[in-house]
Each structure stands twice: as structure tokens, then as C-alpha cells.
Amino acid sequence: MLSNFSSDRSGTFAILTAIIVIPLILIVGFAIDGTRYYSARSQLQNATDMAALALAASMEQDQQKLEALAKSYLLANMTDASVIDLKLDALEATSKDIELTTSAVLPLTLMQIANFHDLGLQTAAKAIRAPVRKVELALVLDNTWSMSEKDRSGISKIDTLKQASRELVDQLISGDDSPIRIGIVPYADYINVGTKYRNEPWIDVGRDYTEAAKDKVCETKTQKKICLQKTAEYSCKKFVDGVPEQSTCGGDCTASEIRTVAPYEDCSGGGKGKTYKWFGCIGSRRPGTYRLNDLASSIPYPGYLETSQHCLSPIVPLSNDKPTLLAAIHNLVINIGDKYKPYTYIPAGMIWGQNVLSATEPLSEAADYDKDNIDPKKILVLMTDGDNTLRFDPNDGRHVSLSSKADKAAIEVNQTNNDTLSICSYAKNKKIEVYTIAFMVDNATAKDMLRRCATDAKHYFDASDRNRLLSAFSGIAKAINQVRLAQ
């Protein structure tokens, strides 16, 4: 039969062959072009995913620059030469996520016989900035009087810090179920832990009391010291925590004598008694080097009874309550009235940043340290606008003025800087990730201390102006957020 069929010259075979071959070609073409289609679409999806992730991880916010970056990532990752007309159809960017829609065209081969010339490809991807694991973050923020200085635009340093801190909280905490918890440690010369902790065993503070007024005592005198000559008075500037203030200098008495005068009464005492209260202000732990670590929680922090408040806003332990955190940032202050304009003692801020992240007393909101700092991830951000201007007094744990002698003051500042670095080293030994920010700092020694305090060079920011401070906080927020694909 086959022999007869093959020797047939009637044309029937040619007709049958033509009828059968065309469908066969279409079937083969569909298989080949279908395989090419799925391969090209898979590659386009991968390129779109990579672009979304890259953009989400970048610090760029400008829409046009983001679009340019997206196109470059698409071209770099879409290597299928047969695909044409690669397009970025849409890009939506927020502080929390990046959404991309892309398209391309795949020219067909054998399917063109059936008048199918190409197939359209379209993919979408969304990358979000969201932490996969728990994060505990301590913001150690300079609230000293030097933060009252204003830049050329008339905006004070403290207002810039508040804006940067608010934006960081906005970027990191989206809802009540946020896995990120933030603690706020405002520091100056002292730390305010809040009076609610008064009866805790880790504080040593006495009871409030009133000191009765002394009896008024007067005596009659007939002699008095009279100044005969004074130096000239002149307008001058005095510095409070590095901030110049207009003042009057001179007027010192250079010559005097005791003269007999008409009888007069010289009195002392009288007036009102003084009431001493605890406003939440504490110093540093006195024995040994316990002021430099979170060990031995049984050794208390000294609390000070005073007639008026000499510490600033209280600390906020770890929380993901966004309204609470934003309110605390809004309420940051750098002075209390005209008399209390605090100087700088960075070790106080650092050790309480450590305490915020420690599971042991004095605070206990934090989880235990993870040896790899992964779950939870603990992060400390230290921000200051200057160098240390106080020293530690081992007698009572207070932070007091430097010596008036320049050579001795230099030694005292060096010791305070070394204490700061010791706490930084302790934190890093606990695997805490440490960021430091120098905000408009001119002192080279202070900058060097902050560089050494940070985990590495990438964790140190030299924020020489307002925009750089905002950028530093934004960059830290983006680094904390771990980028992942949502769809």
C-alpha cells in the first residue's frame, strides 16, 4: 500500500501534504513562540522585581530621578535581545513603598504565518520598606542650650532636630502592630527619668523637705568697705554651652578702704524657707566604673532634691505608640526659664540609651540581647551639636563645670570623652548597632570621638547643616527598614 501511495502521480499526495503541513507548522510555531513568551515574561518580571527592590533601597525621593533609575535597572536586567519596546509604564513612590508597572513586546516567528506578529508583555512589582524582625531603637538626642542657635534661615537647631525625629518615627512606625519600638532619651547635663520611678530600688533619692527660714539677726555697724577705684565697664559676650550672649564686663574694684560711717544695721537670715523636691533628675552611679555600663542594677543612680527643676524632658522607654512618641518629640525643651540653660554631658545620654535597650533594670521594656543582634535588632542613635562641657564628680555623681584653668579643663574634657567612648564600646560589645550624628560641630576632637563611637564609618554622619541632619535621620530610617517584595 505504501509502495502504491509513494508511486502515485495523480497529485493527491501533494494536496494532502499541503493540508497537513500548515497545521503542523502552526503547532510547532505555537510551541516555540509560547516558550519564548513565557521565558521573556519571566525575565521581565525578574527585571521589574529587581528595579523595585533597588529603588526601595535607595535614598532618592525625586520622581524623575527614580524613573531614570528604574529604566536603567530594567535595561541592565532585561538581556533578552528578542524583546523590543521595553517601557516603564507607571511608577508610584512613597516613603513606605515603591510600585512599578512595566511592559515590552515580543516579536513572533513561525506564528506570523497565521498573521500573529507579536505578543505584549506586562508585569508589576511592589517593594515595601518593612522590618522582617523586631527592632529596638534608642534615640539619644542633644537638648542642651547650644541647640537654641539658629541657622541662616532662622530655624533653630532644636526645631530641625524635632522635624528630623518626627519624620523618622513616621517612616518606621505605621501602626499599633509595628515590630519597631523606639525609646527617646533627651540629654543635657542630666537625665530626667520621670518622677514615677521614685520608689524603684535603682534610685537613691530622699524625701522632699522644707528648710525653715533662719531667724533674722541684725547688728549695728559703724564701719564699711568703700570702693575707691573700678575698672571701666564695657559690652562683651559670655558663652553658655557655646552660645554667645551679650553681657557687661569690667567694673571690678581695684582699690578700697575701710571708712567710719554713720551707724547702720547689717542683717542676715529671715525671709522664707526653702522647699526641696525631686523633679526626676539623676546623676551618674558613683562606685568604680558602673557609670559606664548596665551591670549591677543593685547599685542605684543618685537622685537630687532641688528647689527648682534642673533637668529637661523625661525619657520615653521603648514603645511603638506613635502618638506618645510624637508628643514626646514635640515637647523637647532646651531650657527652663532664664536661669536653667544646660551644658553638655554626653555620657549621661549614652548610658541611658544603653539602659533603654537593656532588659535589666533600671528599665525592663527591652528584650534580651541577641548575640548576633538579629532578633531583636538593637540600634542606638547618638546626636549632638557639640563637645562635652562638663565633668563627672565621683563624690556625689554630679556633672559639674570644668576647671577655670585651661590645661586642667583640657584633661577633664578628655576624661569625659573617654567615658563617652567607653560606653560606646560597651554597647558595641553587646552587638548594638551605633549611629552617631555630628550636627554643625566644629570641634575636631568632638568629631573624632563621634567617629570612633559609631559602629563603622558608614554609621557616622557629619551633618553640617539643616538639610544634612534631615538626610541623616532619613538615611538611618531607610537603613533600619529591611526592603522586601510585597507582590
| pLDDT tens-digit readout, 252-281 | 999 999 999 999 999 888 888 899 999 999
| pLDDT tens-digit readout, 84-131 | 888 889 999 886 788 999 998 878 776 566 566 677 888 999 887 655
| pLDDT tens-digit readout, 306-330 | 999 999 999 999 999 999 999 999 9
Three-state secondary-structure class, residue 50: helix
Is the distance from CB of 315 to CB of 356 less than 8 angstroms?
A: yes
pLDDT at site 33: 57
Task: Tell me the C-alpha distance between 17 and 233, whole Å.
Answer: 119
| pLDDT tens-digit readout, 212-255 | 888 889 999 999 999 999 998 888 877 787 777 778 888 899 99
Q: Give alpha helix (H) positions in 105-252.
A: 157-172
pLDDT at site 487: 60
pLDDT at site 111: 58
Q: Which of 52-56, 153-157, 424-428 has the highest mean pLDDT?
A: 424-428
Grid look-up 549621661 returns 348
Is the distance from CB of 325 to CB of 162 less than 8 angstroms?
A: no
Higher pLDDT among residues 21 and 104, named by residue? 104
- The kind and range of the H/E element at 418 are helix 406-429
Task: Tell me the C-alpha distance between 281 and 265, whole Å.
Answer: 41
State yes or no: pLDDT of 486 exceeds 70: no
Is it true that the peptide bond before 394 is cis, omega within 30 degrees of 0? no
Go through the domains of the chain in sequence order and give each one's CATH number.
10-129 (no CATH), 135-209+281-485 (3.40.50.410), 213-268 (no CATH)
pLDDT at site 59: 58
Is the distance from CB of 238 to CB of 277 less than 8 angstroms?
A: no
Helices 406-429 and 346-357 cross at an angle (nearest 10°) of 10
Sign of torsion over alpha carbons 445, 450, 453, 459? negative
Helices 406-429 and 444-453 cross at an angle (nearest 10°) of 20
Higher pLDDT among residues 481 and 430, named by residue? 430
Three-state secondary-structure class, residue 139: strand
pLDDT at site 135: 93
Is the distance from CB of 410 to CB of 296 less than 8 angstroms?
A: no
Start-to-end C-alpha separation, the chain = 61
